[in-house]
Every structure is written in C-alpha cells, then in structure tokens.
Amino acid sequence: MKIWLVSVYGSVPSDGWRGYRPHVMGEVLSELGHQVIWWVANFSHHLKSYRSQGWGRIEVNPNFDIRLVPTTSYRRNISLARLWFELVFAWRLYRRARVEPPPDVILATEPPQSNAFVAARLARRFSVPLVVDVCDLWPEWFAMALPGWARPVAPVLFSPFAALRRMNFRSAQGVTAVSDTYLELARREAPGLPAERYVTAYTGCDMAGAWQQHLDAEQLQELALRLHKPPGQTWAIYAGGLSDNYDISTLLEASARLAELRSPVRILMAGAGPRAREVVKFQRESPAGNLSFVGKLDPEELSELYQLCDMAIAAYAPGSTVSMPTKIFDYLGAGLPIVNSLRGECQEFLERYGLGRPYTAGDPASLAEALSRLAGEPGARAEMSANCLRLAPEFDSRRQYAKIGRLLEALRPAPTAGVSPDAALSLSGS
C-alpha cells in the first residue's frame, strides 16, 4: 500500500535530533511493507535553518522517502511569519502533490489546521481515504500566548481555526491521536465514524534504539568521573525544548532554591531552543547553583546521561494543553522516576502505574520540594524505576504505530470483483 504522511513539522535524519512521530511512523509503516512518502518542510522548526535549497529528497530506506517542500522561514515560534510559513507549505505541497502518482491513503498531522486542510483536498482529488492524526490542541494553545486580560476572548478570536479543525475532522475517514484526551475531542467534533476508526497511538519509546545501549558498572563510573558527578549527589534531568511552552523559569529558580537548602539534588538541562541563552546566562551568574546545562545531545549521548541520572522532570508551562508528551515515554524507556507538572491524563497515567510525583507548574518551591522529597526516598525511586522498565515494552513506539498501520490497511478499498489484487494495486497507483 502506498501511504502519504503530510506533516509540516518533524525532525529528519540530517537534523541530528531523535526521530519524532512522522519519522518513526514512516519507518514502522515501511517495515510493515508499505511504500511511504512523508511531505515535510525544508525549514527545521527546532534548528531554525534550511535543510535544502528548494525541493529536496531523503531516502530513509527503499520503502520510505522524505520529500522536502520549499517554504519561508521564521525566527519566533509565535509570529505571523510562522503562520505564513505554514500556508506556503500547504500551497506548494498541493501544487506539487496533485500531479504525483496517487497514494492509497493519506495521513495528515493536525495541527496546524492548514496541514490537514490541504491533505483533505488532496484526498478528495485522488478519491482516497484521509486519516487525521491529532498531536496537539490548536487553537487552545494559542490562548497561552495572550495576556491574562485577553484570554476570555480567545474562543472568539481563534474561532476560525476551531471551525477549520472541525471541518478537517469531518473530512476524515479515521482519526488517530497521541492521547485519549485529544481523541475524545475528535469524537465530539466528528461523531459520525465507527468506533474502530478512532485510535489512540501514543508516541511511545524506542525500545530498539538508543535506550537499549546499557553501560556496565565500570563504564558508568568512568562517565560519572568525566561528568563530575560526586558520590551522594542526586541528578534530576530535564531533556527537551527550551521555549515558552515549557516551565523553564521554574526549573532555574528551583535549582537556586535547592542550592540555598544545600540539597543533594542537581538539575541537569539538555536541549535547545529560544531560551537557551537565558539558561546559559543563569548558570554563568549562579556558579554555586544546583544547575548544569549540557546543551543539545544526540540520542546516544542522552541515553548515556540518562543512565547516570536518578530521576527526570516533565516541566510544562502553566495552562499547557499537552496531555501525553513524548518525553514521558523517553523517561519511561530509560527507567527514570518522573516529576511532572501536567495534570489530567498524564498525571493519571503516572499515578496509575506508580511512575512519579506531581509538582505545580510555575511554582519553584513546589518543584524543589518534590525533587528533594523523592531524592530522600531511594526505595520509592527504585520501585518507580522498576515500574517504568516493566511498562515500557507495552508503549514501544513500534507497537503503538502498528495500530495506525492496521487502521490504514482497514480503510483501503477492497479490490473490485473480478480484478486480481495485483491489478487492483496497479490501478490504485501502488
């Protein structure tokens, strides 16, 4: 079966980041024998740099191609320039893709709304099924960027985006989502599909990849010496984006509180983003603080660092619309107890399986207290770590994305009576 993935965002191999949802999904679907093309922007959201000049192509494996669509650039994540970037992507994708050999099915990421909209237009042009994959909540997330006094009018201000999202859902023959929370939104806005066409497929963890590269005791001791981890110190790692979506200020202020309390807990921050300079400046001006910024690491380096850490932090800004983030599953695969700011589905997940503790987003004292308390309970940490490792295989990304593969296969039209399967494949463009 020939599958198109339409997702303006996501890391490609040349970016040096771990594989995100469309990339890993493409690998899994291609391993299942499908021919996959992923249409993505030639401008990297994370790196804020171009991957190619004009159109580009990356062959991941014989069954999986990445097509780079030329776009404009932007510097600020919340800006008109970014909206224009998304519209340019949609327009140029449509002009190119409409003359390509048709796929058998299209799976499109939502948001941005323009992404699923153009995929729906292509699905209609080719008379093939559309599946919408819900990965975040826009326009709800937009309200976070508004000053407090303006947030009550956010539903009216962003109503065109909500209307377009509803139309995208109702154009689809199936809906997948990164969480039950997002899937329920789709059920409410597009209630007409059979139950089996709504599928939660968590981002999951890569149990076959970097997280499986375990260091022995001697290697861990050498790494501890190299990274200057003294005996008796407890390391809590935050690995992820450094932008306003995350609770960066709280992490920094909590590290200062830990230093004042002479706590054995040290916060490590790994990642990149617009607020990286702020983190570097804070570390430089607070040399006695309990903070180490290690910058952007490749997956293998991050895997090694995880093995030296004692717990992990999922730090999301107050009011975040995120429900089940990727980093939760990364920490799960690494066997790290999780101190988490999210409420709702994420908190319920951690509590149900005994994987971590909560803290209050935006409250440095709450974070410092949660870290200090967990650091003083080695037995609880050991139990949480064992729970993480026991649960991780169930949430392996390949196992999760195989659910999407089964949905796509079920949506493929049956061969016409009297036509052989091979001939039907030829007629469908496979």
Phi, psi of 233 (to 5 degrees): -90, 140
Where do the CATH 3.40.50.2000 domains begin and end in the chain? 2-204+396-428, 210-394
Strand 64-69 versus strand 56-61 pairing type:
antiparallel
210-394 CATH, one of 3.30.1330.60, 3.40.50.2000, 3.40.190.10, 3.20.20.70: 3.40.50.2000
Give CA angle at 397 (380, 245), nearest 5°.
70
Give, for all 430 residues of the chain, the pLDDT tens digit.
999 999 999 988 888 766 789 999 999 999 999 999 999 999 998 788 899 999 999 999 999 999 999 999 998 887 899 999 999 999 999 999 999 999 999 999 999 999 999 999 999 999 999 999 999 888 777 777 777 777 778 778 778 888 999 999 999 999 999 999 999 999 999 898 999 999 999 998 887 654 456 666 666 677 766 677 888 889 999 998 888 889 999 999 999 999 999 999 999 999 888 899 999 999 988 877 799 898 888 777 888 889 889 999 999 999 888 999 989 999 999 999 999 999 999 999 999 999 999 999 999 999 999 999 999 999 999 999 999 999 999 999 999 999 999 999 999 876 655 544 444 433 333 3
What is the separation of C-alpha 407 from the centre of its chain, rounded to a whole number of angstroms?
21
DSSP-derived secondary structure for 29-75: HHHTT-EEEEEEESB-TTT-SBSSSSSEEEEEETTEEEEEEP----S
Residue linked to tokens 């921050």:
269
pLDDT of residue 422: 43
Task: With CA atoms as reference, report the closest residue to 428 among 173, 420, 191, 385.
Answer: 420
pLDDT of residue 423: 43
Q: In 10 A of CB 112, how many CB atoms?
A: 23
pLDDT of residue 116: 96
- SS3 per-residue string spanning 212-271: HCCCCHHHHHHHHHHCCCCCCCEEEEEECCCCCCECHHHHHHHHHHHHHCCCCEEEEEEC
CATH code for 2-204+396-428?
A: 3.40.50.2000
Output the pTM of the full model.
0.84
